[in-house]
Chain A
Amino acid sequence: MRRGQASSIQVFLMVISPFAALVLGYYLHWAYVKTIGDRTTTLISNVDNELETLKTLQREVIRLRRENTRIATENIYYRNLTGENARLEEMLNFKNASPYKLQACKVIGRKQESWWSSLQVNIGWEDDIGMTKDLPVVSPRGVVGKTGEVYAKTTEVILMVNPNCKIAATLETTREHGIVIGGGSRTKSQPQSKMTYIPRGVELGIGERVFTSGAGGVFPPGLFLGTVALIKPLASQSNFGLYQELWIDPAIDLTQLEELFIVMGAK
């Protein structure tokens, strides 16, 4: 035998011998090998199942995290409706009880530097052909002001604390008439209006309520304007002491206006 042939046979035997040993072992100890094989298969299958369960759980956790984030965001968006629904219910009750035709509108803008002077609402002559200048603007809690310029889809509302807003008014207890004029300048965070042309002899009290008298022809009678906050001494008044002047706190917080009514006339 040549030397090359001998080494080839050695290599062949070395490769084949482990397989041959396995085959031999398999036939000789069949049950033992089968048990090991079965156990290995079960183990692999268990690990595989566990991995599959883990993957499913991981996928579910990621999906739930996303879903919870979405629901939480939606809830935050809707949470604001609690207060809004309460306001709208109050408005609906007021509208049903009112003898006037009321057009609901929403505040959509106000100037930052003169927020107490005027604001814009989301209704114009395109929405209601009866929309004109000088219509009373009210909320269920009292008078807000009157309409100013009317545009196609928006309208300016001149607030009652604006000096350009003048309303014929009456005092609740004495029934004395006067004019409520916007206070203009803003000395406190809550601006005020002043009531003037009240005769000298009339007795006035702090906290007395003031209502529209209907005498001006713009505002219907009986709408709540505000309460007396300060009675100016006669000497300090601008009309030479001919009439009494007093300052009025508006019935409603004019910084918190959201939904309003425009009085369109009688029902």
Chain B
Amino acid sequence: MRFKNFLIFAVIAIFIGYCLTRSSEEHLRFRSLMLQTLSPVFFAVDRLIALSENVDVSLQTPASAQAAFDKLIDENQILSTEREKMLLMAKENLDLRKKLSFRGAPQFHLLGCHVIGRDPASWWNSVYVNRGTQDHHSLEKAIFRQGLPVISPYGVVGITGVVSEKMSEVILILNENCQFAAQLEECREQGIIQGEGSVREGTPQTRMRYIPKETPVKIGENIFTNGLDGIFPPGLLVGKVIDARPSIKDSYLEITVEPAFNLTQLTELFIIVDEL
């Protein structure tokens, strides 16, 4: 019996040792494989949750459903009119870029995705979505990969992490591994947004780094992406400043940022896929 225990312990120790000595690419491949293996479980649980959520109280009577439908139709008309204008602007933008001989006018696809799972112990780190490398066929010249920006109508959500065939990890902006360039709305200073990666005083937050001490940062000031990181397009809302104080470690401000929306309530997201 003792020998048997020793054998099990030795096998586990060798496996852990093997895992720890692998390169980051192999780690990534391993995690992708794990995600691929676990994907049927995620999808099954998501379907169960969807069944229970389908009982929408606001749509139980014909009158309430009709009212919701009418409201959404009105909203849809307003949004569609705005989109028509935006598409005209996008066309004008392409023409101007062509006339100015800019290299590679940006083209993008918004790939809608649905959150199918999240780590209950560290919900602020990442979520899992129902999109993966099998979605290549729906993208014309783009590739679904790690490091793609993920957004919602309310602002920046994060970037894609480990990618498998049917599902992918989205690293949220609260995660310390999520870093990107951003700009303060009023004083126009540029810095780097990085997640805190842990819960302090109940709510996880992000930080904005490299903003000089003398910058007049206002509490409540909005922060937008500036496009200098090559990941996020400019002009997307990141969040607002809730605290700014001089750092004791360096000559910059320590700025605490509250995300633009509640990251515990994520359901429908969009992955921005650029054309190659």
The answer, among A65, A72, A80, A105, for a CB contact under 8 Å with B235, is A80
- Nearest Cβ distance between residue A10 and chain B, in whole angstroms? 50
- Give residues of chain B (89-109) contacting chain A, Cβ–Cβ below 8 Å: 89-90, 92-93, 96-97, 99-104, 108
Q: How far is the CA of A92 from the CA of B86 in the complex (A)?
A: 21
Asked whether B96 lies within 8 Å of A88 as measured between CB atoms, the reply is yes
Asked whether B93 lies within 8 Å of A88 as measured between CB atoms, the reply is yes
When distances are taken between beta carbons in the complex, the residues of chain B under 8 Å from A188 are: 214
When distances are taken between beta carbons in the complex, the residues of chain A under 8 Å from B62 are: 50, 53-54, 57
When distances are taken between beta carbons in the complex, the residues of chain A under 8 Å from B96 are: 85, 88-89, 92
Q: Does A79 contact B (CB under 8 A)?
A: yes
The answer, among A54, A104, A255, for a CB contact under 8 Å with B189, is A255
Q: Does B56 contact A (CB under 8 A)?
A: yes
Besides A68-B76, A112-B191, A115-B190, 5 more A-B contacts (Cβ < 8 Å) are A57-B66, A58-B65, A92-B96, A123-B103, A186-B212
Q: How far is the CA of A65 from the CA of B209 in the complex (A)?
A: 37
- Nearest Cβ distance between residue B261 and chain A, in whole angstroms? 12
- Nearest Cβ distance between residue B135 and chain A, in whole angstroms? 16
When distances are taken between beta carbons in the complex, the residues of chain B under 8 Å from A123 are: 103
When distances are taken between beta carbons in the complex, the residues of chain B under 8 Å from A105 are: 102-103
Q: Given the known inter-chain contacts A58-B59, A75-B86, please indicate yes or no for A103 contacting B101, CB distance below 8 A.
A: yes
When distances are taken between beta carbons in the complex, the residues of chain B under 8 Å from A82 are: 89
- Give residues of chain A (78-123) contacting chain B, Cβ–Cβ below 8 Å: 78-85, 88-89, 91-92, 95, 103-110, 112-113, 115, 122-123
Give 26 A-B contacts (CB < 8 Å), ordered by A residue: A50-B62, A54-B59, A61-B59, A65-B72, A66-B268, A69-B268, A71-B83, A72-B79, A73-B153, A74-B86, A78-B86, A78-B90, A79-B235, A80-B234, A80-B235, A81-B93, A85-B93, A103-B101, A106-B103, A112-B192, A112-B210, A113-B210, A122-B103, A189-B212, A189-B214, A253-B188
The answer, among B93, B110, B228, for a CB contact under 8 Å with A74, is B110
Asked whether B83 lies within 8 Å of A74 as measured between CB atoms, the reply is yes
Q: Does B9 contact A (CB under 8 A)?
A: no
The answer, among A50, A67, A92, for a CB contact under 8 Å with B99, is A92
- Nearest Cβ distance between residue B225 and chain A, in whole angstroms? 9
The answer, among B93, B151, B214, for a CB contact under 8 Å with A73, is B151
When distances are taken between beta carbons in the complex, the residues of chain B under 8 Å from A95 are: 100
Q: Please report B residues at the A interface, Cβ cutoff 8 Å.
A: 56, 59, 61-62, 65-66, 68-69, 72-73, 75-76, 79-80, 82-83, 86-87, 89-90, 92-93, 96-97, 99-104, 108, 110, 112, 151-153, 187-192, 209-210, 212, 214-215, 227-228, 230, 233-237, 268, 270, 272
| 7 tightest A-B CB contacts, nearest first | A80-B235, A78-B86, A72-B153, A64-B72, A88-B96, A57-B65, A112-B210
Q: How far is the CA of A95 from the CA of B179 in the complex (A)?
A: 36
Asked whether B187 lies within 8 Å of A189 as measured between CB atoms, the reply is yes
Asked whether A77 lies within 8 Å of B110 as measured between CB atoms, the reply is yes
Asked whether B112 lies within 8 Å of A70 as measured between CB atoms, the reply is yes
Asked whether A75 lies within 8 Å of B90 as measured between CB atoms, the reply is no
Asked whether A73 lies within 8 Å of B152 as measured between CB atoms, the reply is yes
- Nearest Cβ distance between residue A254 and chain B, in whole angstroms? 11
Q: Given the known inter-chain contacts A68-B72, A68-B75, A71-B76, please indicate yes or no for A106 contacting B112, CB distance below 8 A.
A: no
When distances are taken between beta carbons in the complex, the residues of chain A under 8 Å from B189 are: 189, 255
The answer, among A50, A58, A79, A106, for a CB contact under 8 Å with B86, is A79
A57, A78, A115 pick with most chain B CB within 10 angstroms: A78
Q: Does A238 contact B (CB under 8 A)?
A: no
Q: Given the known inter-chain contacts A53-B62, A77-B233, A189-B189, please indicate yes or no for A61 contacting B153, CB distance below 8 A.
A: no
When distances are taken between beta carbons in the complex, the residues of chain B under 8 Å from A85 are: 89, 92-93, 96
Q: Does A256 contact B (CB under 8 A)?
A: yes
Q: Does A48 contact B (CB under 8 A)?
A: no
When distances are taken between beta carbons in the complex, the residues of chain B under 8 Å from A112 are: 190-192, 209-210
Asked whether B110 lies within 8 Å of A255 as measured between CB atoms, the reply is no
Q: Does A11 contact B (CB under 8 A)?
A: no
- Nearest Cβ distance between residue B176 and chain A, in whole angstroms? 17
When distances are taken between beta carbons in the complex, the residues of chain B under 8 Å from A258 are: 227, 234
When distances are taken between beta carbons in the complex, the residues of chain A under 8 Å from B153 are: 69, 72-73, 76
Q: How far is the CA of A115 from the CA of B190 in the complex (A)?
A: 9
B86, B90, B214 pick with most chain A CB within 10 angstroms: B86
Q: How far is the CA of A74 from the CA of B101 in the complex (A)?
A: 26
When distances are taken between beta carbons in the complex, the residues of chain B under 8 Å from A149 are: none
Q: How far is the CA of A259 from the CA of B93 in the complex (A)?
A: 13
When distances are taken between beta carbons in the complex, the residues of chain B under 8 Å from A208 are: none
Q: Does A38 contact B (CB under 8 A)?
A: no
- Nearest Cβ distance between residue A65 and chain B, in whole angstroms? 6
- Nearest Cβ distance between residue A74 and chain B, in whole angstroms? 6
User: In this complex, what residue of B is CB-closest to A71?
Assistant: B79
Asked whether A66 lies within 8 Å of B112 as measured between CB atoms, the reply is yes
- Nearest Cβ distance between residue A128 and chain B, in whole angstroms? 10
- Nearest Cβ distance between residue B131 and chain A, in whole angstroms? 14
